[in-house]
Every structure is written in structure tokens, then in C-alpha cells.
Amino acid sequence: MKVDPQCSYCLLSRVHYESKLSTNDEMLIDKIMQECIRVLNHTYAPGVPASLVSTSMHRRAYELLDDDDPYRDMKEVCNRTAEKVFPIAKAMIWEGNPSDAELFRRAVLAAVIGNFFDFGVMGLEVPISVFDDTFRQHFIRGLDIDDTPRMIKRLDNVVYVADNCGEILLDTLVFDMIKKLGGNVTLVVRGKPILTDVTMKDVKELGIDEKVDRVLTTGSGSIGVDMEQAPQELLDAFSSASLIISKGMANYETLTEHEMGPIAYLLKAKCKPVARDIGVDVGHSVARLFE
């Protein structure tokens, strides 16, 4: 996905947000904002991949903050909240006597709703204190784009590219369904901390590595998946997958820049540029398969 004019001020808003998470030094924050505006001016141009601009800005902010993980406390909050929501989600998935196809659809829906665990996105307001009510409302509403009937036919060897902490706990519900249906799961996480995205350290601390067949990393702390920095093992996994599942907007922004598939994008459309690119409204729940 290419950069959109709206990305510019959203990125600056997020840089300010993460700076405030890391420091109270207003002079340093002013310096970071000035420097990230310079980076924005240097990298932004029509037709440039959105991830090139965003990764450059966040890397520079982290360097000036001298902080390799300013979201560490926020990631913990997201995980603790997801732990409270998890039993609600599981009960709603298994309610009644659903078929395997319906179980899979509900698990995917739960994981997509979990994509709301993304703080710092301008205009996104989902208070942690009411997330359980938010979850119930969106679960009842369902998926706005539902390609799960086609996805379920391709679960033999799934590569699942994860997004944020918090939602990764709800992603395990999808892992469970894939395993129940006889498939294998390769989980892909970030190589280094970036935003609230899940890393190898996070999945091991949560015990999620035990719920999948193997865990690989993107090889970097870039936004989404930087294919130029991806380890060969990951590239091989992509090429041999029966289905790639890409979670969240950052992965969508980066993986749509490459010819690969079959690939399913699971996400909440949380901003106008991504929603417009997909062809949905902001707030829509998406499970779209490209074969």
C-alpha cells in the first residue's frame, strides 16, 4: 500500500504519543518532533510505500529517545486486558453447537476484533475499561467481509503473521481451530520491538510458542514485514504456505506491496487510507482472501 496524505499527520501524532510514553522532557519531545518532520519531508512522496515513511520516522524517534521499546508498559496493559476478554471470546465462539466452519469463522471474528488493541492510532478511541462491551457488540455485528469459507479449505500449512500484543492472545483461538482441523501453524513475529507489535520475547513470556508448530521473526523492527530484511527461513515459509494469514494494518500495508499468496488479510479498518484501499468503511471487520 502506498502512502496517503493523511498518513503524514497521523504518523506525527503517533510519534508524539510514543515520545510521551517514554519521557516527560518537553525539550526532547520538541527535538523529536522537529527531527521526525525532517524525516517525513525526506521520505514522503506520492507512490512511496507507506511503511518506508513510517519505519523511518519511528526508528528516528526511538534513537532520540534512547529507548528501544517505549510501548513496553502499554503492551503489558494490552495483554492483561486481553486475558480478561479471552474467556468471553471463547464462550461466544463455542456457544450452541457450531460446525467446524462456524467455529473457524467465529475464531477469526474474535481475532479481528482483537485488532482494536492498537493505541496511538489517531482517532481510535477504544477505552481499555470498556473493551469487553466493545468486543460483545462487534462480535454480534460479525464480519463485514467474510472469506472464511474459502480460507478453511487452505489450512494445511498456515503462516500467520502476527500484529499487536493483547490481540495475540485472541489469535490463539484461530491457532486452536487450525490445529483442530488438522493444520500446522507457523507464527511470525517482529524481529525487534516496534510500536505494540508482538516479538519473540512476548510470545515466549505468554507461552504462545507452545500453541504453534514454530515461531519465526521478520528479522527486523520495521513496520510490518520488510521483505528485504526477512530471513531466508521466513521467505521459504511464505513460498511453501498453503495460506498466509496477515493480521492488522501494518502487515497489510507492507505485504500488499508484493506478489504473494494465497493470502488472507484479517484486520479492523482503523483509518481512512487503509479502509479506502480495501474498499470498506472505517471500523469494518475484514477477513479477505486473495488467491
The whole-angstrom distance between residue 104's C-alpha and the CA centroid of its chain comes to: 19
Picking from 18, 36, 65, the residue at the C-terminal end of a domain is: 65
55/102 same-domain check: no
So what's the pLDDT on residue 270? 87
pLDDT for 132:
75
Rounded Cα distance between 11 and 61, Å, is: 11
Largest Cα–Cα distance in the chain? Answer: 59
In tens, the pLDDT along 218-241 reads: 999 999 999 999 999 999 999 999
DSSP state of 66: T
Structural domains counted in the chain: 2
Give the range among 41-55, 83-97, 113-127 with minimum mean pLDDT. 113-127
**55-67 core/surface letters (b: 16 or more CB in 10 A; e: else):** bbbbbbbbebbeb
86 with 185, same domain: the answer is yes
| Residue that has been written with the C-alpha cell 528485504 in this structure | 228
4 grid coordinates = 496517503
Q: What pLDDT, on a 0 to 100 scale, did the predictor assign at position 25? A: 98
Same domain, 152 and 60: no
46, 65, 84 - which closes a domain: 65
* pLDDT above 50: residue 184: yes
- 44 and 81 housed in the same domain: no
What was the pLDDT predicted at 85? Answer: 87
Could you please report the per-residue DSSP string of 145-207?
EE-HHHHGGG-SEEEEE--BTTHHHHHHHHHHHHHHTT-EEEEEEBSS--TTB-BHHHHHHHT
Residue 253 has pLDDT above 50, yes or no: yes
- The enclosing domain of 61 has a CATH number of 1.10.8.380
- 257/254 Cα distance (integer angstroms): 6
Could you please report the per-residue DSSP string of 67-126?
Answer: -S-TTHHHHHHHHHHHHHHHHHHHHHHHSS---HHHHHHHHHHHHHHHTT--TT-TT---
Q: Domain containing 248: what range?
A: 72-290
DSSP string, 219-282: SS-SSS--TTT--HHHHHHHHH-SEEEEESHHHHHHHTTS---SEEEEEE--SHHHHHHHTS-T
Q: Is 21 exposed, middle or buried (0-12, 13-18, 19+ CB in 10 A)?
A: middle
Residue 124's pLDDT band (cuts 50, 70, 90): very low
192 contacts 226 by C-beta, under 8 angstroms:
no
Question: Which of these, 200, 162, 166, 199, lies nearest to 79 by C-alpha position?
Answer: 166
Q: 282 CB contacts (<8 Å, ≥6 apart)?
A: 269, 270, 271, 272, 275
Tell whether 16 and 110 lie within a shared domain.
no
DSSP-assigned beta bridge partners for residue 264: 245, 289
C-alpha cell at 69: 521499546
- 190 and 128, same domain (yes or no): yes
Residues listed for the chain? 291
Residues 156 and 117 reside in one and the same domain: yes
Residues 152 and 196 placed together within one structural domain of the fold: yes
The domain that contains 253 carries what CATH number?
A: 3.40.50.10880
Quick check: 159 and 245 in contact, CB under 8 A? yes
Cα distance between residue 291 and residue 288, in whole Å: 10
| 105 and 58 inside one domain | no
72: Cα separation from own chain's centroid: 16
Residues 127, 47, single domain; the answer is no
Alpha-carbon span 250 to 54, nearest angstrom: 10
Domain boundary among 38, 65, 92: 65
**170 and 265 co-located in one domain:** yes
pLDDT in tens, 144-158: 999 999 999 999 999
Examine the domain organization and report whether 81 and 161 are in the same domain: yes
